[in-house]
Amino acid sequence: MLTVAVGLSTIFDMREEEEIYNKLGGEGFKEYQLKNIDKPLKFGSIRTLMKKLLHLKQETGIVDLIIISKQSPITGLRAIKTINEAGWDINTAVFLNGKDICGSLISFDVDLFLSRNSKDVSNAIECGVASAQIFHLDGGEDIAINADEYKKPVRMVFDGDSVLFDHTSELIYKEKGLEAFTENEINNKRLPIGVGPFMKLLQKIHKHNILNQYFEFSLVTARSIQTLERALLTLEVNDVQINNAFFMGGKDKTRVLKMINPDIFFDDQDTHVHRALNDGVVSAKVVNPGLELNKKD
């Protein structure tokens, strides 16, 4: 079974509530939530992704969705009421009241964790769980979606380096430039790249033999064709299959992403994530602890 955990502010667009929390503090926010307990929250950008996963859960049992939130049970009650009233089949919720999420991710054997909090995403990746930071689209809840769309495969798009692959090659690019990166990839074309934070997720889905029927995976990478051999070898030796691969050679990814129309796009670069968001593509940033640590040094 594939276990997906989400935070409440990931399911819902709670940017307004976050501002209220920052203004009023914990106790003031609790009072606000209780006062508005019967007012449904607005669903956020991952609504389509969530409904597709819920459909898979109901029809096949291959997916489970759980809530892992750093809110308290009381402040999270309004969100739970909204979920129940919408008829979403989510049975498990964890409220940590500000405590670290890693123990819960491991206890529930989580495969994918989606959060609004970049620190929680980084911590989850360090705990060995594929994780990404969600950004909400303005007006995302108002987009009309055909009911049959939820029955279609879940479309996920992944960047390569620091997402499916580890950050070692990207680090060469950042420190020494494109020429050194290309030379390294050509010289090591027979040596697979280390696995990144999302490789295990794809391996699990492929292992359950549900790739073609329930999920569609695309690789959209800034790599050029000069460096594709090592990337494809790495997918092959890790027994991961993808439906499409786009080696952009440094070109903007946005048009390709709009063509694919993914339910979610994972990338570690702010530029790619925010360009995609500006064009209405649901996007999430993979916060790489290795690169962030190197940046601090």
pLDDT at 110 over 60: yes
pTM for the whole structure: 0.92
| Assigned CATH topology for domain 153-296 | Rossmann fold (3.40.50)
The two structure tokens encoding residue 53? 């996963």
The two structure tokens encoding residue 114? 């989606």
pLDDT of residue 295: 44
- The whole-angstrom separation of Cα 120 and Cα 158 is 20
Identical fold for domains 2-142 and 153-296, yes or no, is: yes
The domain limits of the chain are 2-142, 153-296
Whether residue 248 contacts residue 226, with contact meaning beta carbons closer than 8 Å, is answered with no
Of 293, 296, 294, the C-alpha closest to 172 is 294
Amino acid symbol at 43: F
User: In degrees rounded to 5, what are phi and psi of residue 69?
Assistant: -125, 145
Q: How do residues 264-287 score in pLDDT, each as one tens digit?
A: 999 999 999 999 999 999 999 999
Quick one: what percent of the chain has pLDDT higher than 90? Answer: 77
Give the residue-averaged pLDDT of 239-243.
Answer: 90
Q: How do strand 215-221 and strand 154-158 relate by DSSP bridges? A: parallel
pLDDT at 207 over 80: no
pLDDT of residue 102: 95
| Assigned CATH topology for domain 2-142 | Rossmann fold (3.40.50)
pLDDT of residue 152: 87
Beta carbons within 8 Å of 56's beta carbon, 6+ residues apart = 62, 63, 154, 214
Give the residue-averaged pLDDT of 199-218.
Answer: 83
Q: How do residues 185-198 score in pLDDT, each as one tens digit?
A: 999 999 999 999 99
pLDDT tier, 146 (very low <50, low <70, confident <90, very high otherwise): low
The two structure tokens encoding residue 151? 């029955």
Whether residue 64 contacts residue 1, with contact meaning beta carbons closer than 8 Å, is answered with yes
pLDDT at 293 over 80: no
